[in-house]
Structure 1
């Protein structure tokens, strides 16, 4: 379930995402990039993050953030899933935290790192709240207190993201610099500072997400026109890009009956 933020937060928050499910223990999930960053409040059972090709694992804190993901992540749920996720615009989290986006790339960090004096009380309030709208209001109040005038989006970053999404990720870096009338170096620096992924990589993520959106609407059309509608040269090109971003193929994606979010799904354990 997606819920839009209040107008005061719309400059940095895209939407709130609610993920709930009753699972038996020890179910593995795959999370991969959708081009956004997030702040997660877990009010369900513990989540375990598998690191370094599943050789290491760590219990995730009940409040954490994640930056732009250049590599997919594997997460195990220990039972009931209950997550309230603040899905930020691509530049939203770095703007809120006043940190260069490149420093957050592929990072999953405890919220205590940034809000050590408040996070325990905030998590208690979310746990004790009886309904999801009350939980969202608690988080909105928290984020509103953290907003300042300096949290405004960088104009170039905002305009470039808008342009990339308008074309569903199908503009080259040369086309972007030509339309925006800037140098490639300036574009790269802007993305490092405010987005966290290079513009070419970010565009690739958006192109894949656009394809998956089409696929969810028309799953039987995968073998034909959807590949080309999304801007891929052929099926092999699509599969290669999809596996690079998510670690799975389009067929594996659409075969999953438990799609909790567009970029968060249950996968079989190896």
Structure 2
């Protein structure tokens, strides 16, 4: 194995161990807020910087070990809290830098959870890691201390679920129109127009766009593109890499040019350059949940 392939294999190993989906049962009462549990850690010190691409779902994460650094547009952000909520991604130049021993455990959340449970508009979390203690200071300070003192990593999930359950007792009322909209977007793999969605929920297009973006943090058109692109990556994982055009058509793209434009808009590069570039390992954490 030459050096390039060795580095590529190492990066893939690191990323796959960065956010493994756990076989962890989410309580029925919280399934409308939580998708699944994830866990990742390095067994030794690592030094790597990799891009973060949109997948449509926010995260509630407890970081243990050394703290990572977030890079946005050349600006370095050092998280001050070990319990963070990461929102929607709408940036081509968002990267995470790891330098040390890394560990994280937490949950993939529904797109509406930051609004319903944490009672903040989606734009508050957009392209950001927000400290939970700054969002709900009365509850999270004690929670962080409890998490830090917990020796068993997996036991942290139950502690965090108890926290989410308390928040659910004071959650914002659900918006049936929004829940229905998201269900349609996911069911159609993002292949539905804004006009159609607005018509289904009985809103004017302008009002629909404004309300959707207010809660989710990105426009419905952009969110549909994110789901459509991640559907492509899900198919890509089990397909022949040489058949990009066929896979793109299967995901609803009209032609290769249409696919290339959306790919560049969301990923920041052409499909071929991305898949043959230094950051091609990032495709391992893209796909459908």
User: Same fold, TM exceeding 0.5?
Assistant: yes
**Offset, 1:231:** 1.0
Cα distance in 2 for partners of 1:234, 1:191 equals: 28
Q: Which residue of 1 aligns with 2:135?
A: 114
Greater CA deviation, 210-219 or 249-258? 249-258
Q: Is 1:57 aligned to residue 76 of structure 2?
A: yes
Q: CA deviation at 1:196?
A: 1.4
Residue 243 of structure 1 is matched in structure 2 by 264
| TM-score, reference length from structure 1 | 0.86
Equivalence for 1:261: 285
In structure 2, C-alpha distance between the alignment counterparts of 1:254 and 1:127, rounded to whole Å: 40
Aligned to 1:268: none
Aligned residue among 190, 210, 234 for 1:189: 210
- What residue number does 1:153 align with? 174
Confirm or deny that 1:74 pairs with 2:88.
no
Equivalent residues, number: 261
TM-score, with structure 2 as normaliser: 0.81
Give 1:253 deviation, angstroms.
4.6
- Report if aligned partners of 2:233, 2:283 keep a CA contact under 8 Å in 1: no
For residues 212 and 39 of structure 1, what CA distance do their matches in structure 2 show?
23
Question: Counterparts of 1:134-153 in structure 2 under 5 Å?
Answer: 134-148=155-169, 150-153=171-174
Give how far 1:233 is off: 2.0
Distance 1:165 1:260 in 2: 20
- Alpha-carbon separation, structure 1, partners of 2:231 and 2:109: 18
Structure 1 residues 222 and 24: alpha-carbon distance in aligned structure 2, compared to 1, 3 A threshold: farther
Aligned residue in 1 for 2:48: 27
How far off its partner does 1:74 sit? 0.4
* C-alpha distance in 1 between matches for 2:225 and 2:276: 19
- Shift in alpha-carbon separation, 1:258–1:98, aligned structure 2, 3 A: closer
Q: Which runs of 5+ in 2 are unaligned?
A: 1-19
Q: How far is the alpha carbon of 1:261 from its aligned partner?
A: 2.7
